[in-house]
Amino acid sequence: MRINTLLSIFLATLSTGIGVTSNPIPNASPEDPTHGSIQALSGRAVHNVDPLRPELITRSLDEDTLFSLLHARNPDPIDSEEEDHDLTITLGTRAGSTSSQTVEETSTYKLFSAAHSGMTKDGYYAFTAKYTTGTAPGDDSTEAVMAEVQKDYGFDHIVLVVGKVTETSTKKKLKRDFVAVMHHLIITTYPNTIYQKKNWSLGKTTPKIEFVKTTTAKKDSALAAKGKAYEKEHTTWEAKVNDCQTFVTYMEGYI
């Protein structure tokens, strides 16, 4: 009995000396599963106090140490949805996005992509361009003898256009273009014909564009040689034997 009495006096004195006070929780029960200790903060000190026996102070720790122990024993659960959301934002910021860029398409890209919506960056594509009014690029012939076949074909002149889709990007702008060349047969002095290759450009007359097929860089680079080979064998214009349409049909076989 004397030992228990001394211990109680000592603990009561210790509690009074460090200035910790606590009011009992009304209707608290030792069997209550929620029964636990109350943390009383005094400056930087944290004291664990039993709510049913406030005179007992089980331990005194500095705040930083206590928080470290609590985190080690019961770390905060990870919210997987928040973690995934943060990761998506981070990757989006690093990778960049065209949504914040102004997209600019050249007149050439717009013209050809209207005929084939499946054009993608670095892809090679072949088209025909049919001129139905005015004079075709590089062809100044207006010989009356050509009128009948032009009527049969439904156009005045046809060329093969092959090119590559390019994209150049800056922080503020994404520019798309279709960099192409045209291959066609022209009359120099009637009835003499030659093969001509030149960079594509949209002239005064807008032709009718029709998609032919997807091709490759290797096939594109070989077309000029095929055009030259055709020219050697076909030097005189003849309707539906050696004309702009027969030339394009020949060239289509190599794309």
Q: What span, in angstroms and rounded, lies between the C-alpha atoms of 18 and 170?
A: 67
Low-confidence winner among 84-98, 178-192, 227-241 (lowest mean pLDDT): 84-98
Low-confidence winner among 126-140, 168-182, 195-209, 234-248 (lowest mean pLDDT): 126-140
The pLDDT value given to residue 185: 96
The pLDDT value given to residue 140: 54
In the numeric block, which tokens belong to residue 78?
A: 């990870």
Residue given tokens 């990757």 in the structure block: 91
Output helix, strand, coil percentages for the chain, rounded to the nearest 5. 35, 30, 35
DSSP 192: B
The pLDDT value given to residue 103: 94
In the numeric block, which tokens belong to residue 208?
A: 């009718």
Confirm whether pTM is higher than 0.85.
no
DSSP 240: T
pLDDT tens-digit map of 34-55: 444 444 444 444 445 455 555 5
**Looking at per-residue confidence, does 81 or 250 come out higher?**
250
Query: 128 pLDDT exceeds 90?
Result: yes
Q: Cα Rg for the chain, rounded, in angstroms?
A: 43
- Residue 173, beta-bridge partner list: 102
Judge contact between 194 and 186, C-beta under 8 A: yes
pLDDT tens-digit map of 142-166: 566 678 888 899 999 999 999 999 9
Q: Is 246 left (phi over 0), alpha (psi -120 to 50) or beta?
A: alpha
Buried-state track 116-146, b at ≥16 Cβ within 10 A, e below 16: beebeeebbbbbbbbbbeeebbbbebeeeeb
Give the DSSP H/E element, type plus range, for residue 230. helix 217-233
The amino acid at residue 231 is E
Quick one: average pLDDT of 167-175?
94
Query: 87 pLDDT exceeds 70?
Result: no
The amino acid at residue 64 is D
Distances (CA, A) of 248 to 5, 129, 160: 114, 10, 6
